[in-house]
Amino acid sequence: MIERDFPARELKLYSSARSAGSRIDFNGREFLVEEATPEIFSDLDIALFSAGGEITKTLAPQAVERGCVVIDNSSAFRMDPEVPLIIPEINPHTAADHKGLIANPNCSTAVALMGLYPLHRLFGVKRFFAATYQAVSGTGAAAIKELDKQTRDWVEGNEIVNEVYPHQIAFNVLPHVDIFLEDGYTREELKMRNESAKIMEIPDLQVSCTCVRVPVFRAHSVAINAEFEKTVDLEEARRAIAGFPGSEMVDDPENNGYPMPLDYQGKIPCGVGRLRKDSAFDNGISFWVTGDQLWKGAALNTVQIAELLHKKGLVGVRASLSGN
């Protein structure tokens, strides 16, 4: 928020009792982290939640009751029909329908739609298949440390131990993100289907997704094969993506030009490349999207929603950040 010069009169940091009392130095200021309790929301206009689903289910309704608008980064309320699920570049109009609570989409969904939505506006997406390449930072700090340690242990010839993931992640890929459901898909894969349909307002959208964890520290990638209602034109498609806010075309295969995770760590836009007509669909396009899941997939999108609310006069300008 500070980097984007968000117009807040006051910024407060809150956490669980476990982390309360710590101090964070940022941008030349020291912030005291206080315990998040229902009472604190009476003095706040907006709260950005990143504390997990269970805490959100408990505290978010209490914050709303006290007149505070909550933007939540968990999956707790994403599919609630009364809660807008927003990517500001795609469905900002839904912000006006909020009843005090707004959901931030899953990281892979947000990155994928930054490439897919401009094409949908042109050709009308009918269905798509996606395979994700998800960085370990999506699991948290412990996963980053595990990948780092396993890599060092492999180089040094030491025993490799896995604790965060069910298998070694260094020099490996795991077709397993989140828990498996009865139909064989994982919960993460279900998010891609349901959230994409809600955000793009296509109730009957058909989606099949395979989510894969890869030994990359930060930034997710997604390979997408999409079928459209209208006949596709690649040059129109390239222009649409290049002109879409928050996306950029990196599509120069002759010179090895395509988006990669290393290039999109800490970067605001998502990169789209490998654009080509799909060989299995009559009206299909295959492409590749890469984006920082900690930024557009999480924190950046959350702050952009707050900026949207402020611009439309749907919230005040006091703010808090709530975490674990």
Active-site residue among 107, 209, 211, 270? 107
Please confirm, yes or no, whether 220 is among the known catalytic residues. yes
Crossing angle for the helix pair 107-123 and 234-242, to the nearest 10 degrees? 130
Residue 46 to residue 17: CA distance in whole angstroms: 21
C-alpha 56/C-alpha 73 separation (Å) is 9
Which member of 120, 209, 211, 220 is catalytic?
Answer: 220
- Could you tell me the strand order of the sheet in which 284-291 lies? 206-213, 125-134, 220-228, 284-291, 270-277, 247-249
CB-based contacts of 151-158 (< 8 A; 24+ apart in sequence): 151/215
Kindly report the length of the chain.
Answer: 324
Cα separation of 187 and 65, whole Å?
30
Examine the residue annotation and report whether 107 is marked as an active-site residue of this protein: yes
Positions marked catalytic: 107, 220
